[in-house]
Amino acid sequence: MASELIELAGGTFRMGSTAFYPEEAPVHTVTVGAFAIERHPVTTADFGAFVEATGYVTIAERPMDPALYPGVDEADLVPGALVFRPTDGPVDLRDWRQWWDWAPGANWRHPFGPDRDAAAPDHPVVQVAYPDAAAYAAWAGRRLPTEAEWEYAARGGVEGTYAWGDEVNPGGALMANTWQGRFPYRNDGALGWRGTSPVGSFPPNAFGLFDMIGNVWEWTTTLFAGQHRPQADAPACCPPPQTLIRW
């Protein structure tokens, strides 16, 4: 259960970017307090230990409330989750619905559906909603990071275009499990992986943290907004080291 913790002293850094997604702007200065964060994301095995100990049922496994889906046939309201489906060729990238499909029965045990392979125990757990991640963190005696804490950890103390510097593939090396090829229809694979990869398969960042970039999306406690809302410094709320769960 839970990976080794890396203690970070905290500090001041430039958060955000104007180079990629508009919601990452504007770049602004943020200070975070000391905290400790797991070396790698929560794995399927980690999450399985939590479920076995508590009997927890994830959002994707729960019956769907008909009151929340007026006009939908109750026969269609079965537990499941969205799964990625490659398109047949180039598409309008502004419409994400072209590569996400609803898969009945998809959940953390079988991420692509009950008729597909089970999730690998050493891969990061997927198909977990925010309440699921928060429940695991509470069980482990930890909490999820804020977006500022997460980005501070992801940058590893490095200022650059990418978390490891200004070159996307320094020395020709793949630094993270990200899409290789033409999205969303041709994925050449990162070191052979066309989906998630075992945690720690790619180089750690300067803080010694694995998979801060690529492999899976990770949850934070910060609500999504169309752009950053610069705010006062965000010191740690509790005596250090706080211990944060990676998703």
CATH at 41: 3.90.1580.10
Give pLDDT, residue 1. Answer: 53
**Within a domain: 141:** yes
Cα torsion at 43, 30, 15, 26 (round to 10°)?
A: 130
Give pLDDT, residue 170. Answer: 95
* Interatomic CA distance for residues 49 and 121, integer angstroms: 11
User: pTM of the prediction?
Assistant: 0.90
**Within a domain: 179:** yes
- Range(s) of the domain holding residue 49: 5-59+125-187
Number of domains in the chain: 1
**Within a domain: 118:** no
The pLDDT averaged over each successive group of 10 residues in the chain (247 residues) is 86 92 92 97 98 98 94 91 97 95 97 97 98 98 97 94 91 95 95 95 97 97 82 45 62
Give pLDDT, residue 75. Answer: 84
The token pair that represents 110 in the structure block? 């079988």
**Within a domain: 64:** no
Give pLDDT, residue 235. Answer: 45
**Within a domain: 143:** yes
What amino acid occupies position 53? A
Q: DSSP H helical segments within the chain, as ranges?
A: 44-54, 130-139, 147-155
**Within a domain: 208:** no
Q: What is the CA radius of gyration of the chain?
A: 19
Give pLDDT, residue 231. Answer: 56
